[in-house]
Amino acid sequence: MNRNSIGLAVIGAGKIGTLRATLAAAHPGVDYLAVADVDGEKARTLAERCGAQRWSADNDGIIADPQVDAVIVSTSEQAHTGPVLAALALGKPVLVEKPLALDLATADRLLAAAAGRSLHVGFSRRFKKRYLLAKEQLRHGRLGELTGATMRLYNIRSQALHSLKRLPDNSPVSGLTYYLDLANWLFAGNPVVEVIARGKKGVLQAAGHNTTDLAHAILTCRDGAVIALSVSYALPRGYPALGHAARVELLGAEGVMLLDDDHTDRILYTDRGVGHVYIPGHDVNMAFMGSGTPGDWALDAFWGPVATETRNWLDHLTAGTPCLLATGEDARTTLEVGLAMERSLASGAAVRLPL
């Protein structure tokens, strides 16, 4: 196998940027690593932690570094556009965290800039083993024609409140975006044409946020297949999930797949407390092990969806292996379905796609 070495820039030194940089530093195909964050101290700390050769508070300067061949954009959601455009303008492959953008106009601007270039988006649920295996069964046609699906996601209110500090207009639909991507991926070639959604406000509204605690939606595909989606980001603070607690069921004319992703098969109870990957100071006595959304540290290595996804992208760039990440077009489709769900929640009416 022919292998190339690359220089990589990681833009954004938050939780996921730190994780991506740490994984990249250990990849055999990465021989130069640079990190940047508008908070220069964060960039310096990350560079020291992962052994990066360069750090800076100047995102554009790091992206333009002639030793940088590819760029990971791990900034906050509202700050994706600038770094992605800067990297694409230089012809450098980009991996950007989900969502691609917060509105369709910005997404279309990014896709236009990516024409003829390499742009992928980090929807890491695709890289959980159970969903990869599900996709493989669909490739072999073992369910026959898909007639529908149910997808349910639970998370704790502490996670919602933590996210709302960063994005005050956020809603549970943003957490559901991983599963909207899964729906589009598993039902490939059969796009959603109508969305109708309902929700209920309460806990999060009482905390000062005009958003729903839970939402339910019916997505109708072009051939009539129906996908039922449910999400609640308002479970009590002490609920043992340290990230997503989900269930996905796929129904076909010739088979069915039931994918339990609640993590209730691995329970830890400790008087010492268990921390949360995203929320500082959030300790619980009982935890569903393995429920952290990006994955888990074990024996000084990181295992799980974000690790597999990062390695797949780097393998693709350095060894030419197939890239399984969501494309920019995939991410735009997921964004559009999510926005349709938001519109339906607000209006109470069915929303047709494309918007």
pLDDT of amino acid 175: 79
Across residues 68-78, what is the average pLDDT?
Answer: 96
Reported pTM? 0.95
pLDDT of amino acid 32: 98
Query: Tens digits of per-residue pLDDT, 165-178?
Result: 887 777 777 778 99
250 has a pLDDT exceeding 90: yes
Which pLDDT band, with edges at 50, 70 and 90, does 255 fall under?
Answer: very high
As a whole number, the mean pLDDT across the chain is: 95
Q: Which segment of 16-25, 115-124, 139-148, 232-241 scores lowest on mean pLDDT?
A: 232-241
Residues 6 or more apart whose Cβ sits within 8 Å of residue 34: 7, 8, 9, 10, 52, 53, 54, 55, 56, 62, 65, 67, 68
pLDDT of amino acid 162: 86
The amino acid occupying position 150 is: T
pLDDT of amino acid 2: 60
- Spatial separation of the C-alpha atoms in residues 7 and 281, rounded to whole Å: 35
Distance set, CA 65 to CA 5, 86, 189, 285 (Å): 16, 12, 39, 46
Query: Tens digits of per-residue pLDDT, 273-308?
Result: 998 888 888 899 999 999 999 999 999 899 999 999
What does the buried/exposed string (b/e) look like for 61-88 if buried means 16 or more CB atoms within 10 Å of the residue's CB? ebbebeebbbbbbbbebeebbebbbbbb
The sheet that has 226-235: what strands, in order across it? 256-261, 245-252, 146-156, 226-235, 214-221, 192-200, 351-352
Task: Go through the domains of the chain in sequence order and give each one's CATH number.
Answer: 6-97+306-324 (3.40.50.720), 130-293+335-352 (3.30.360.10)
Query: Tens digits of per-residue pLDDT, 308-344?
Result: 999 999 999 999 999 999 999 999 999 999 999 999 9
